[in-house]
Structure 1
Amino acid sequence: MKKAVLDQNILKKYREHLYDEERSQATIEKYMRDVTYFYRYLPEGDKVITKEVLVAYKGSLSDRYKMSSINSMLAALNGLLEFMKLNNLKVKLHKVQRSAFYDEEKELTKSEYKRLLDTAMNNGNERLYMLLQTICGTGIRVSEHRYITVESLKEGKAVVKNKGKVRVIFIPAALNKMLKDYCRKENIRSGSIFITKSGKPMDRSNIWNAMKKLCMDAKVSDKKVFPHNLRHLFALTYYRLQKDVVRLADILGHASIETTRTYTMTTGRECQKSLSKMNLVIPEYKKTT
């Protein structure tokens, strides 16, 4: 049987394969980082892939990473094995008990969101102020902000193309007006609204860093401040109002409702309050005579 050897040429072809699959740039970089980590794990001069090596590699990750991170790394590795036509060597992911509640330390509240907006404006960063409202007001992914264009404001909606799928994002009227005013002020006449000085759409890492700088002045924990949490706040707010997880999945662009369910999780404290309102626990029993 011919040995399955991993080399730089295969890694290069795998990257090209991911591009052909129309994976997002962030996904491609994540997958390549994970499979390169496995490549470096293999002994120098003997980059042979066997089931024994894969099992040992899987075990080596346990002391360094959380279970969810390990599964993510193994999923990337399985993608490589499938590309190499080594499906028989694919490794099993760890079974992880799904949490019933959202981590309260990470939940961004509406009041905290508003403090972030106030801080952005007080710091003179109107572009960030508008971007935060755009992500939180539409539920888009941070990478999708480039589809919010001057042209989309005229239509009142944006057509988002991501992961080989197309969906329509409606822009709330109040947000639409604010963005039009912003474009006139900044002399943005066409194309993406949130751009750098060179005219390119803002990079997610720059957005992430800009948001983190707001934390101290806004008195919001930096554990709660990252672009994806704005999307989570949108989803949870929508679900509380509409109670329609199917429609929410369409808006967020999820292929599976199971993915959407993670966005609708409440905190343990909120669940306790709901249980108390049911009034099914009688505190004192009084015997009737």
Structure 2
Amino acid sequence: MSKNITKNRILDFTVSLQIQHRSPNTITSYTTNIQKLELFLNGAELSKERMLAYKCWLSEQGFKQRTINAYLAAANQFCDVMGWQEMKVVLDPVGQGDSRETQKQISSSSYKKLVYTALQNDKERLAMMIQVLCHMDLRFCELEKLTVESLKEGAVWVIRKHHDKKIVIPDIILEDLRTYVAHEQILSGIVFRTSKGSPVDRSNFRKDIKKLCVLAGIEE
């Protein structure tokens, strides 16, 4: 069965919200937000990859995190109603900067010192994340597309502007990434994960970067 967002499915979603006794304002807001996702997809089927692309796109439009979360909450609720739970995305805490701000923060000439300090303090995952964000055209919200399988291919596939884009993993970090997953015994799936197997979220990453800056004697 196709997973397009259609007018009938939006109507089903609206009815579901009414059955849940949601307020009229909430129903109107959620319905409007889903229509925005529909416009973003431009006729394409919904998928986890496109949900991640939508999340990145919202960030690039300059929306505040609270607004982005409102759009994504509606999208996640829609996925619940449709039975597409596997497509839901994680909401970032309010107050976090977008992926471009994070990348800018660690893309300075001092990043080598950050990597060295991370390794000296047994923070190998953090060191590798810094290198990936500095050497690859990969946004933070796309990091979960970096998988063990993509390391074998030597490239990551993401969706940008409704098109698949191949991002080659530079040789300068490819072997280090392969060594990292071997050392961490990560056999498949996401490279940068928590102990529970979930993607590392931006909030924890930024906290770790701030602590690392202190250890490295670098001003943020």
- Report matched runs for 1:1-289 at 5 Å: 7-20=25-38, 21-22=40-41, 23-24=54-55, 27=58, 30=63, 33-34=66-67, 109-110=108-109, 112-222=110-220
Alpha-carbon separation, structure 2, partners of 1:188 and 1:200 = 13
The count of corresponding residues between Structure 1 and Structure 2 is 148
Alpha-carbon separation, structure 2, partners of 1:173 and 1:117 = 17
Superposition deviation, residue 36 in structure 1 = 11
Superposition deviation, residue 162 in structure 1 = 4.1
In angstroms, what is the RMSD of aligned CA positions?
3.0
Alpha carbons of structure 1 residues 190 and 31: separation in structure 2 relative to 1, 3 Å = same
Residue pair 1:15, 1:32 contacting (<8 A) in 2 also: no
Between 19-28 and 131-140, report the one with greater CA deviation: 19-28
Superposition deviation, residue 159 in structure 1 = 0.8
Structure 2, unaligned runs of 5 or more: 1-23, 42-53, 71-104
Give the number of the structure whose alpha-carbon radius of gyration is greater.
1
Alpha carbons of structure 1 residues 200 and 185: separation in structure 2 relative to 1, 3 Å = same
Alpha-carbon separation, structure 2, partners of 1:36 and 1:152 = 29
Structure 1, unaligned runs of 5 or more: 1-5, 38-105, 223-289
Aligned-residue sequence identity (percent) comes to 32
TM-score w.r.t. the length of structure 2 is 0.59
Alpha carbons of structure 1 residues 191 and 7: separation in structure 2 relative to 1, 3 Å = same
Alpha-carbon separation, structure 1, partners of 2:206 and 2:189 = 22
Residue pair 2:148, 2:190 contacting (<8 A) in 1 also: yes
- Determine the structure 1 residue equivalent to 2:87: none
Residue pair 1:148, 1:193 contacting (<8 A) in 2 also: yes
Superposition deviation, residue 33 in structure 1 = 3.3
Superposition deviation, residue 27 in structure 1 = 2.5
TM-score w.r.t. the length of structure 1 is 0.46
More helix by proportion, 1 or 2? 2
